[in-house]
Chains A and B, each alone.
Chain A
Amino acid sequence: MKTLYDKLWEEHHVTRLDTGESLLYIDRHYLHEVTSPQAFEGLSKKNLMPWRLEANIATPDHNVPTTRGSGFNSEQIKDEISKIQVVELDKNCNTFGIKQFDIKSTKQGIVHVIGPELGYTLPGMTIVCGDSHTSTHGALGCLAMGIGTSEVEHVLATQCLKVSKLKNMLVKFEGEPSENVTSKDIVLYFIGLIGTAGGTGYAIEFAGSYIENISIESRMTICNMAIEAGAKVGLIAPDKITLDYVREKSFLDSQTLEKAEDYWLKLKTDEGASFDNEIIIDISKIKPQVTWGTSPEMVVNFDDEIPTSSNSSDNNKKNIELARDYMGIDKATKLSDLVFDKVFIGSCTNSRIEDLRQAAEIIKGRSVADNILEAIVVPGSGQVKEQAENEGLDKVFKEAGFIWRDPGCSMCLGMNPDQLKPYERCASTSNRNFEGRQGYLGRTHLMSPLMAAYTAINGTVGEPS
């Protein structure tokens, strides 16, 4: 009896090397401008060509400005160094013949958003990308993981990844969520529970009645943040919801698709297969979650007190003090006492159409609080942007005082001009609240698009109303 991860592993297992590691065949390889230049350089130095060209799909996302407007090209990027990187991706894709949705394309976007929506991510695939949030694609029943630049070169050169097998973890979310609780809250709660190292060395399969009932987009939010729980791989068995999603996005002809579907539905963990670790979580009592500190595990209910070091172990004490200090929390405070400066709705965690709809629903007819200096919405892709505009969501946001941007990673990591200034406090739908992540000395609080929308309107993390 095997787990889903075991099956995907075996299915892609080419050979076991003398060293004990395995070569795993890679079906799909996504590339972006930040972690690929050194890999292409390595490939050229070895005089090699990509092993299987069509496996590769590229797009620039991290560095792109989000105030581009139409007709903008790579050469127009103002930050000279960002420009070099984006132009370099153009060059490499041209030289090697790799398909790229470049900065001009209406399909450009965050690599993990465009992969599934353009039909390149399919159940049962192995997928890699020089980006830790590649785990996102596991939501469609793929074995997907982030890799380093040396491995990007290796995959380009050999179509294989050299790896050792991970351990299996099963996480079951059971029950019905309360009002205002989204998959972002569920995954933040889970990270708070097991810690950011809790999933290290594991492939986590998410299951349970909650998972069975949510959309692919919500599932992607959960698998996306598996890495914040320490796990390279997060995955969910394909079901009818998956097939419907794929059918809508796919460019495959119906005959091929039907054949594939029969196979995809068989991709699941065998009844009675054993896991190295199993966790069952009753999600019915979970409240909206907001992070207070500088690690995603530093998370509490939105209406809770922020932890203090007084009643924790020695080492933890230090972590808590450092985080409180960095986040500018001096007295014992409730999260709801903190006053925010900025709101960011975007990132590969929460920038898909469902996220924007949820936020817009709250914002409709209201306006951004006076203390919020800037509230921005950055759709995950050109397609998400277009869809949102067709639905009039851009107007809802703009009328409320939000700024409506072009797709990219944006303030998730501030590699482009969208950054926090020192000490600014931001309500962010992204995935990392590390020191300086959104800008030098910036303060990030992770939350769902729903809670970010409330925060924009209240100016504080208030009671949803």
Chain B
Amino acid sequence: MKSNSEGLIIDGIAAFIDRDNIDTDQIIPTEYLKSIKKFGFEDYLFDGWRYQDDGKLGITKDERIINEEFILNIKPFDAAKILLSRDNFGCGSSREHAVWALRDFGIKAVIASSFGDIFYNNCFKNGVLPIKLDKDEIEMLFKKTKEDILEISIDLQKKQINLSEKVIHFEVDDHLINRIIFDLDDVDITLKEKNKILKFEKERIKNKPWIYTND
């Protein structure tokens, strides 16, 4: 098991987008789903909000009309490692490209009051930590963003967010967060159970033959 010690603490500036229901079509629009690669999505994160023109796969940030008012185009948020939002972040389409775009941009954690189920799962497979907090805590963090640049330190093992004057604990299943901490691969883990799967399958084929008949 590879221990990824750098992954234990996420330190950085938090960018924030104050709206509910940010769907994966906003995180990365359809056009960029045409890529058959798993990397290289950094310039397309929040494409519709980040630029004032329509992009195409392959185009880079430098060729675009920048929306100067969008948070990820404003210094120092253009180097944010943490993203703060509201309710139901990552709802909608199952596209893992949404997480790849966040990851490629450099976002290591997203803090919101709730997440779309599929997006939430996809995060842990790509080293991005989704953190669910209560709505009051989210409100408190948004208040802070109005006062000053929000710098946060997230301790993955202790499951806590350290603010300058305060600590917030968060809940996340160990098996999920361990995937990020130890950089685990799901296929490897599951294939250790190969014999159990084979046995199960054999039984099932016997009892439910219709499932295994194709035309």
Contacts and interface: CB of A to CB of B under 8 A. Distances in A.
Interface in B178-194: 178, 186-187, 189-191, 193
A122 B19 contact: no
Contact of A319 (B19, B118, B197, B209): B19
B148 to A, nearest CB: 22
A230 B116 contact: yes
Interface stretch (B31-39, B73-81, B103-111, B155-163): B31-39
B180 to A, nearest CB: 13
Interface in A188-226: 195-197, 200-201
Interface residues of A, number: 86
Contacts of B58: 81
A157 to B, nearest CB: 5
B23 A434 contact: yes
A14 to B, nearest CB: 5
A85 B36 contact: yes
B86 interface: yes
Contacts of B50: none
Interface string A155-168: 00111101010000
Contacts of B173: 20, 164
A434 B29 CA distance: 10
Contact of B21 (A51, A196, A252, A414): A196
Interface string B22-61: 0101100111011111100000000010000010011000
B175 interface: yes
Interface string B196-212: 11001100100011111
Contacts, number: 198
B206 to A, nearest CB: 12
A434 B34 contact: no
A415 B30 CA distance: 6
A196 B190 contact: no
A430 interface: no
A265 interface: no
Contacts of A99: 214
A88 B35 CA distance: 11
A229 to B, nearest CB: 10
Contacts of B126: 150
A440 B215 contact: no
Interface stretch (A33-41, A359-367, A456-464): A33-41
A119 B215 contact: yes
Interface in B65-123: 86-88, 91-96, 99, 114-118, 121-122
B25 to A, nearest CB: 4
A151 B175 CA distance: 16
B34 A230 contact: no
A146 B20 CA distance: 22
B34 A122 contact: no
Interface string A275-309: 00000000000000000000101000000000000
B18 interface: yes
A331 interface: no
A232 B197 contact: no
Contact of B25 (A148, A195, A260, A435): A435
Contact of A197 (B25, B91, B190, B211): B91
A160 B197 contact: yes
Interface of A: 14-15, 17, 19-21, 23, 25, 27-28, 34-35, 37-38, 41-42, 46, 48, 51-52, 54, 62-63, 79, 81-82, 84-85, 88, 99, 119-120, 122, 124-125, 130-132, 146-151, 153-154, 157-160, 162, 164, 195-197, 200-201, 227, 230-232, 251-252, 256-257, 259-260, 263, 295, 297, 315-316, 318-319, 322, 413-415, 422, 432, 434-437, 440-441
A284 B94 CA distance: 34
Contacts of B26: 434-436
Contact of B94 (A14, A147, A435): A147
A154 B30 contact: no
Contact of B213 (A125, A154, A256): A256
Cβ-closest 7 pairs across A and B:
A19-B175, A251-B215, A37-B36, A197-B88, A148-B122, A150-B125, A148-B96
Interface of B: 18-21, 23, 25-26, 29-31, 33-38, 48, 54, 57-58, 86-88, 91-96, 99, 114-118, 121-122, 125-126, 173-175, 178, 186-187, 189-191, 193, 196-197, 200-201, 204, 208-215
Contacts of A42: 187
Contacts of A146: 94, 118
A430 B34 CA distance: 21
B197 A150 contact: no
A224 B215 CA distance: 26
A435 to B, nearest CB: 6
A257 B210 contact: yes
A318 B18 contact: yes
Contact of A230 (B88, B94, B196): B88
Contacts of B54: 422, 440-441
B162 to A, nearest CB: 26
A15 B118 contact: no
B193 to A, nearest CB: 6
Contacts of B37: 38
Given A38-B36, A148-B118, A436-B48, A154 B186 contact: yes
Contacts of B125: 148, 150-151
